[in-house]
Every structure is written in C-alpha cells, then in structure tokens.
Chains A and B, each alone.
Chain A
Amino acid sequence: MRRATTWWKTGIGLVLTTLMLFPVYWMVNVSFTRDEDMRKTPPDLFPIDGTLEGYRAVVDQQLPHLGTSLLVGFGTVALTLLVAAPAGYSLAKLRPAGGGLVSFVLLVAQMIPGIIMAMGFYAIYLNLGVLNTLPGLIVADATIAVPFGVLIFQAFMSGIPEEITQAATVDGAGPLRTFWSVILPVSRNAGITVALFAFLWAWSDFVFASTLNGGGGLRPITLGIYAYIGNNNQQWNAIMATAVVASIPAAVLLVVAQRYIAAGVTTGAVKD
C-alpha cells in the first residue's frame, strides 16, 4: 500500500514538472520550427518538419555576442571574487569595528533596483567616455554579485573554526598569509557558489547591457536576442534558437552544480 501511494505521488510530480517546464520545451520546439509553419494553427507540438535555420542564424550572427557575454561573465567573476573574498574574510575573522554597518549596507545594496543604478552609471560613463566598453559593463554587472558574494564568503568563513586560524597565527603567519594559505583553500565551495552566480547574473544581464552597451559593437547575447525581437519580420526560430543557446550556462549549472545553487538561494535569506 505504501508503495502504491508513492507511485501515485511520483505521477503527480511528473505532471507538475511537465507543466512547469512546458515553456522551456516550447522554446526548443519553436527553435526547430520552419518559418512557414510558424503561424500554423494549431501549432505543431513536435518539430516534425524540423529545420536548423534558427541555429544557422545563431552561428552566422550571434557568435560575437556570445563571445562578448563570455568575456563579460569571466570578467565579472574575477572582479567579484577579488573584491568579495578579502572582504568576507575581514568581516568573518578580523571583525573590524563597524563591520556590522558594512554588512547592513551590503544587504541594502542588494535591494536597489538595477535600472536606477543603470541611470547613474550611464551619466558617469558618458562623461568618462566608457560607454560601450567591456570593462564598463563588467564593473556594472559586478554590482549585482558583489554584495551577495561578500555575504556568502562571510557566512562560510565564519564557520571555519577559530583553532585553525589561531594555529596559523601561532606559526607566525600574518593575516595575509592566513588568508591566502589557510582560509582561501578551505573556502573553495563558497568561492564556487559566488563564481557561478556572478557568471550567471552577468551572462543574463539585460538592464546594464541595454543602457550601457546598447550602441556599440560589443553587445552581449541578451542584446542579440533583443535586437531579433525588435526586427520587423520577427524570425521566431532564430530568436528561440538564440534563447536556447543563451540558456546553456543555466543548464550546465543545474547539472553540474545543483547543490551550490540551492545553497546560494538559501544562504543569506534563511538563517535556520
């Protein structure tokens, strides 16, 4: 009897998951649909007469945007780790007076809407002449991840037993050496979580890209999709094919690093 009820629940679970993921399936389905079938009613539920036209468009037109997005993603990860890891160490282990205030500012910083930051950045970048540059976009994208990164590092590093850092001090290691050879190696998981999210957010960013890099040749993939949508003859298989390609990092993350994701969502939000 117990087994029967379990199977029943698995069945419901499958139905719910199918419903939830239907839009994702539909994106893939449309990406293979021929232009002439696009406005057919009812639409084909499977790409029977599938085409690779959409993906050909991606290869022909979107590769530079994908490259830009990769560079921006890696740059954002590097900048975020560089700023967040030492700060997390300081707040967790060295505990400067006023550290509580810094943590508070970081929580508040996460709540500031992106468009408002974008408008301020736009005004500054225009005067500095760094609109439509990669470093400009990287710096802006990192604002999404830096507060989160510091909080993750801080939470993780607070969990490292004091004995370990004290042992290092007894051995004559200064704070820098303790950080580099003791704290950082132990905090690898926190680093991975921060890096994954920083990359994903930079890769997905639309607000900063459209305000700060909208005009030049260095546009990330999100703007590649946006430009497609803006076209008068919307080529939906090309749009959806680009969307599928733009979703690859998310898919990789989910397969490779699912527990880091769950950790990232809950850390900082729930202190159970």
Chain B
Amino acid sequence: MSSSTQTASRDLAAREPARPRARPSRRPAGGGTGRWAAWAFLLPLLAYLIAFYAYPLYRNLDLSLRDYTVRSFVQGDAPFIGLANYREVVDNPTFLPALTHTVVFTAASLVLQFGIGMALAVFFHQHFRLSATLRALFLVPWLLPLIVSASTWSWMLNSEAGVVNTFLGVLGVDPVNWLTSPDWSLASVIIANVWIGIPFNLVLLYSGLQGIPPQIYEAAALDGTTGWQRFWRLTFPLLRPVSAITLLLGLVYTLKVFDIIWIMTKGGPADSSTTLATWSYQLGFGSLLPQFGPGAAVGNLLIVAALAFGLVYIRVQRRQGGTA
C-alpha cells in the first residue's frame, strides 16, 4: 500500500526515456515459447472482445440494415433492406432537433464543465488548510450512480416544490418550469450533467497543474506579474496538452450521455431534450412497438461521431506521449 498506481505510472513515465523501448525484435528470452505465452495470456481478453464487443456491435449493425418487426426479431428472418433505416431516420422530423440538441448539450456541457473545473483546479492548487479534503469531497457527484444524481436533480428542479425555484424566489426571480417547459428542459439536463462532469475536469486539470514546475512561477513572480496574467501567460499555455485530453475525453463521454436525460425528462417534453442517444433508446425500447432497425441506425450514427472524436483523442495522446 506504499505507492498508488498514480505514482507508479508517473515513475514509469519518468523512467521511460532511459529504458530502451521494447521493439518487436527485442522480445524477452524464450523466443517461440515466449510468443505463445504472450498470446495465451491475451486469449481471455481476445475471446471476450470478440464475443462481447465485436459480436454485439455486429448484431447492432445487422439490426440497422434489416426491416425488423417484433415477430421477425425473435425468429431472425427479417428482410435485408440496405440503408433504408438510415434514410428513414434522417428524414424523420425528430432527426434534426435530436442532432441539434446533441450538439448544444455536448458543447454547453463541455464549456461549462471545463471552465468551472479549470477555475476550481487553479483555486485548489493554492495550498491552504483543508484544500486536499475539500478537493476530495468534490469527487462525490462523479462517484454517485447516475440515477441517484438524475433523480435528485429532478426533484430539486420540480416546478412547484423544487428547492431551486425556492432559491430563485428569494432572489426575486419567477419560478421556472425546468423539466416541463420545452424552453428549459435542455438547460435542466445540461445543468445536471455539468454538475456530474465538474469533478472529472477538476481532477485531470489539477493533476496537470501539479506537473508544472514551481520554478516557472517563481521566475514570473520576480517579474512582477499579476495572478491573472500568470494564468493566461503561463498556466493556460502550459496546460494545453492536458486541456486537450480533458476536452476530448469529455467530448466522447458527453456524446454518450443517456441516463441523465432519460431519467430526468425522457427526452421531452415534445422532444425538446431529445439527443441522438435518447432517441436511439426511445426507438428501440421506449415504446410498446419497438423499432429496432431505426433505433440501431441512430445508434450507429452516434458511434461514428464518438469514434471520429475518439480517434482525434488517441492521436493527440500519442503525440503527447511521443514528445514527453
């Protein structure tokens, strides 16, 4: 228990350049047997990936290319209809709102989470009494089951009895129909999602701040810069690699968000908070007459978006790993 994985991986990163990097030609002694052993240890993972990742994804793709009814879903004899499901989905009047809401939800969540997370990271990085304890408490929202957070926010945002409207009333603001008005439902789920996402941003950005050598700040202090200048001229540029990673990971995670929206508003009222994720679920499981084909098609569109940004993330991470 003397060292956590964090320090271990950091030690590793520090040691990496000194150690000769493993090249395929420099495999451990043992040659043939070593290679077999390597694959034997990987076998459970490979079997798992094929059976429980690749196969469900393949089934999902197959679903999206066939004309499924409940009966043919069970019997498995649905006719192949090519991209008709995708065409149906794109022509659906829900498509454009769902796409717009996904973009707005993701962008607003990212900007707010990142902005607040950054401000908090900088704040907690100044060492004061209790700063470590309070920072730990900030992790709570991230650890709670999403259904717990979502149902708590639902009740807090309740139009008549919600505590948020009570506070607004104290400030002289009229009550807002957070979850029942089409104008506010998307904002409501964004608020809850930002609350959940702040800890993640805080932890990553804080660890980034810890990586900046204090000497840099000492030099800047000698030059007589103000705190604000220090942030924009030193901290922010130095944090750019970590910021990029944080934002990209946040992007990929936010695109996936389904639980919070579904539990708080079910995408409603009148699709006003429907995103691609909730729409996909709505089509496949949300009604008595499931439309698995179109549901799977929406899901696959979402995968394409997530993977596109995911690949950017991996690229950025690789490049940073290479230069570090």
Contacts and interface: CB of A to CB of B under 8 A. Distances in A.
A6 B128 contact: yes
Interface string A58-88: 0000000000000000000000001110110
A120 B60 contact: yes
Interface stretch (B43-51, B181-189, B216-224): B43-51
B307 interface: yes
B109 interface: no
Given A26-B152, A250-B140, A116 B57 contact: yes
Given A96-B39, A225-B148, A246-B148, A116 B303 contact: yes
B5 A190 contact: yes
A149 to B, nearest CB: 10
A247 interface: yes
Given A93-B28, A116-B302, A229-B263, A189 B52 contact: no
A26 B156 contact: yes
Given A24-B140, A113-B303, A152-B5, A86 B207 contact: no
Contact of A112 (B39, B204, B281, B303): B303
Contacts of A116: 57, 60, 280, 296, 299-300, 302-303
Contacts of A193: 5
Contact of B145 (A165, A174, A179, A222): A222
Contacts of A247: 144-145, 148
Interface size class of A (residues with CB under 8 A): 35 or more
A87 B4 contact: no
A169 B31 CA distance: 13
B82 interface: no
A51 B144 CA distance: 24
B129 A259 contact: no
A14 interface: yes
Contacts of B65: none
Nearest to A117: B56
Given A30-B155, A150-B45, A243-B151, A109 B53 contact: yes
A146 B53 CA distance: 11
Contacts of B166: 41-43
A155 B183 CA distance: 46
Contacts of B24: 95, 97
Interface in A103-134: 104-105, 107-109, 111-117, 119-124, 126-127
A17 B143 contact: no
B174 interface: no
B38 A94 contact: yes
Interface string B23-46: 010011110001101111110111
Contacts of B207: 262, 266, 270, 272
Interface residues of B, number: 118
B255 A143 contact: no
Among B30, B147, B207, B307, the most chain A Cβ lie within 10 Å of the Cβ of B147
B195 interface: yes
B151 A265 contact: no
Given A26-B163, A89-B41, A270-B204, A258 B152 contact: no
Contact of A239 (B41, B151, B300): B151
Given A38-B161, A266-B207, A111 B310 contact: yes
Interface of A: 6-7, 9-10, 12-14, 16-17, 20-21, 23-24, 26-27, 30, 38-43, 82-84, 86-87, 89-91, 93-97, 99, 102, 104-105, 107-109, 111-117, 119-124, 126-127, 139-140, 142-143, 146, 150, 152, 155-156, 158-159, 165, 169, 174-176, 179, 188-190, 193, 200, 203-204, 206-207, 210-211, 214, 222, 225-226, 229, 236, 239-240, 243, 246-247, 250-251, 253-254, 258-267, 269-272
25 contacts: A13-B124, A23-B149, A43-B163, A91-B42, A111-B252, A113-B303, A115-B284, A119-B292, A119-B296, A123-B59, A124-B55, A124-B56, A146-B45, A152-B5, A155-B8, A189-B1, A204-B147, A207-B258, A211-B284, A247-B145, A247-B148, A254-B136, A262-B139, A267-B9, A272-B208
Interface pairs A-B: 4 shortest CB-CB: A120-B56, A94-B38, A204-B145, A87-B45
